Structure 1
């Protein structure tokens, strides 16, 4: 029986889809190098969260045919190297778009209304202090969206009901009625809120660095629900400490979980969440089912619907 490894939660989210398809399903909490090798070195398919999959691991997994990402980003896997080893890498485009876009809206509103600061003061029994904090209406503001894939498109559509001016930056143009394409400099200079929703690839590493942050208004906010590598963390910490921008909401980081000694924890103008922007029941089901289908398609000898590489098959 063909062995596959999937996260425990995904097995429940798919109602044991792969077991019903006739596979020997082995579950782990999180498919890491150690847990994969300890569970089944003869595995044929693995559903991956975001743990790194080192290139040295392929030689230890001789039967491996597919790495199916539970989600959209696949920066933790060298997809081209996987292709050279005859291994498909797939993802689940659009599966979490609504959930992540809603999280971006949530973060923008929390920043605009100063909700976290107000709630903290009330929790500390400083109601008077809480009442002195004034937020802003989102109506009339300019929101810049960096990256116009499934998540960026969902975000722009949602924002259309708030009466905002939406600016878009993307490496390729897609027809849209929900915003205006501009260059990155214009987006950063004119936006009151900047939402990072672009894919993490070599070309986007530190796309937002010191120079880009200096283009932003002192009253502007940065929201990142994409990947930590896209924003230069040291430059962002400096900008936040020196109030070069008003604040940020961050769901992703260079190192995850975010180390407790990170300077982000010392700042009062940043809202932090632990890579949970897509954590909804609906997105979880979509990602798990999409990844399970990709494993089945590859191991059934079919072309997967959502490949991100093109393996050299013998």
Structure 2
């Protein structure tokens, strides 16, 4: 991956975390976000890239910049999607089927697509067709237009099995993320601590003392809401 160019589509919290990881692999990074540019964060990453090069940690200079969507697709060796699902009528820049037959043809024939945002952001029929026709080199997804993924999905066509990887929606979860007993680090610990807080009454009527309980309104004193 070193020296390759990745397009990060969507620079919210998860997109920025992805950018940070990619910078550690000495990749060039094209950024696109339909709503907001986090210019300060991008400038800080560029400073870090320049410092790594100046100190000899990385051999070649690398760069990061915001570009338009089409330029990001054309220039990338990898395209990773991190946008919310927004449909027509919800916004002037919908993301439903953002990746479609037309936009897939903008990508390099050697490029790979990764979608871990929301399934309907990608037109799965168009993606399967693009893989069959070698429009792009491959794809990996852990979200789908219909979940669980139907057995007759075009993404499961044996003809593209070697170039289309599909996962359940936990491909990003490392062992510590799922299983750590520390509620500040792992889902398991967070779930258990939430149960303890409720069952033992640790919150003492103050719902702010239940940081790992999502539906705090269910524990409001009667008549307060």
- The TM-score, its normalising length taken from structure 2, stands at 0.67
Q: In structure 1, the residue corresponding to 2:214 is in which secondary structure?
A: helix
Aligned equivalents of 1:229 and 1:278: distance in 2?
19
- Deviation per residue, 1:186-240 (Å, 9 max, x gap): 1000000000111112121111111110000000000001111001111111101
Tell me the residue number matched to 2:48: none
User: Structure with the greater relative contact order (CA < 8 A, sep ≥ 6): 1 or 2?
Assistant: 1
Aligned equivalents of 1:291 and 1:149: distance in 2?
23
Among 231, 238, 241, which residue is 2:129 paired with?
Answer: 238
**How many angstroms does 1:260 deviate by?**
1.8
Which consecutive unaligned segments of at least 5 residues does structure 2 have? 46-63, 88-93, 179-184, 195-209
Which consecutive unaligned segments of at least 5 residues does structure 1 have? 1-137, 302-313
**How many angstroms does 1:166 deviate by?**
0.7
- The TM-score, its normalising length taken from structure 1, stands at 0.49
Aligned equivalents of 1:285 and 1:291: distance in 2?
14
Say whether the 8 Å CA contact 1:258–1:274 is kept in structure 2.
Answer: no
Residues 1-314 of structure 1 correspond to what in structure 2 (within 5 A)?
138-170=1-33, 171-174=35-38, 175-176=40-41, 177-178=44-45, 179-202=64-87, 203-265=94-156, 266=158, 267=160, 268-279=162-173, 280-281=177-178, 282=185, 284-285=187-188, 288=191, 292-296=212-216, 299-300=219-220
Give runs of ≥4 in structure 1 deviating > 4 Å. 285-292
**How many angstroms does 1:296 deviate by?**
1.8
Q: In structure 1, the residue corresponding to 2:215 is in which secondary structure?
A: helix
Aligned equivalents of 1:276 and 1:229: distance in 2?
17
Question: How many residues are aligned here?
Answer: 165
Say whether the 8 Å CA contact 2:76–2:107 is kept in structure 1.
Answer: yes
